Amino acid sequence: MTTILRKTTTTTTTTLILLLLLLLLLLLLLLLLLLLLLLLLLLLLLLLTTTTNTTTTITYYYYYTTILLLTTILLLLLLLLLLLLLLLLLLLLLLLQQQQLLLRRRRQLLLLLLLQLLLLLLLLLLLLPLLLLLVLQCTTSTTSSTTTAAPSNTDTNTYNTNTAHFTNTTKFHKRPIRCIAKSSYF
C-alpha cells in the first residue's frame, strides 16, 4: 500500500514539475514578446521626437503621452512577469529537491547559479528599456526647450485707410487678441 502511495505521489510531482517547466517556458516566451513590443514602442517614441512638426503639436503630445503610458504599463507588466517567473523557479527547485532529483550538492549549486544568472539577465533586459526611456525623456526635454521661440515684439496690426479700422494679422497661438488694445496706434 505504501509503495502504491509513493508511486502516485512521485507521478503527481513529476507531472507537476513538467507542468511548471511548460509554464516557465510560456512565461519566458511572453516576456520576450513583451520586450519586443516595448522596444517597438520606444522606437516609435524616438521617431516621434525626432520628427516634430510645429503645426501639429497637440496631436504630437497626444501620441507621445499615449505611447509613454503604454511603455510604462508594459514595464510594469514585465516586472510582474519577472516576479512570477522567480516564484515559479523557486517552486520548481523545491519540487525537485522534494523529489530527490537533486541529491548531489553540486547539482543544487549549479541549478541555483543558473537561476541567479537567468534572473540577472532578465533584470538587465528590463533595465535596458528603462535606460532608453530615460535618455529619450532627456532628449525630448532639451529639444523642446531649444525649439520654443520667444514671442516677437513686432506689431502686426495694420490700419486700413479705406474702412478706418484696425485689422489684426497676428496668429492666435502666438499672441493674444488683447494686443490690439495695447497697440501703439492709440
Q: For residue 155, is it within any domain?
A: no
Domain that holds residue 137: 2-147
Q: For residue 181, is it within any domain?
A: no
pTM listed for this prediction? 0.51
Q: For residue 186, is it within any domain?
A: no
Q: For residue 177, is it within any domain?
A: no
The average pLDDT across 115-136 equals 73
CA distances from 152 to 52, 111, 145, 168 (A): 22, 68, 17, 15
What proportion of the chain, given as a percentage, has pLDDT over 90?
0
If one counts every other C-beta atom within 10 angstroms of the C-beta of residue 137, the result is: 13
Query: With contact defined as beta carbons under 8 Å apart, do 147 and 54 qualify?
Result: yes
Work out the mean pLDDT of the chain and round it to a whole number: 68
- Supply 179's cell numbers: 494686443
Place 103 in a pLDDT band, splitting at 50, 70 and 90.
Answer: low
- Supply 136's cell numbers: 529619450
Q: For residue 97, is it within any domain?
A: yes
Report d(CA 35, CA 132) in Å as an integer: 13
- DSSP string for residues in 15-62: HHHHHHHHHHHHHHHHHHHHHHHHHHHHHHHHHHHHS--GGGHHHHHH
Tens of pLDDT, residue by residue over 157-169, are 454 455 555 455 5
Total count of residues recorded for the chain: 186
Q: For residue 40, is it within any domain?
A: yes
CA 109 to chain centre: 35
Q: For residue 14, is it within any domain?
A: yes
24-28, 54-58, 91-95, 166-170: the lowest-pLDDT one: 166-170
Q: For residue 170, is it within any domain?
A: no
Query: With contact defined as beta carbons under 8 Å apart, do 31 and 78 qualify?
Result: yes
Tens of pLDDT, residue by residue over 44-68, are 877 777 766 555 677 777 777 888 7
Query: With contact defined as beta carbons under 8 Å apart, do 24 and 89 qualify?
Result: yes
The average pLDDT across 20-40 equals 82
> How many domains, the chain?
1
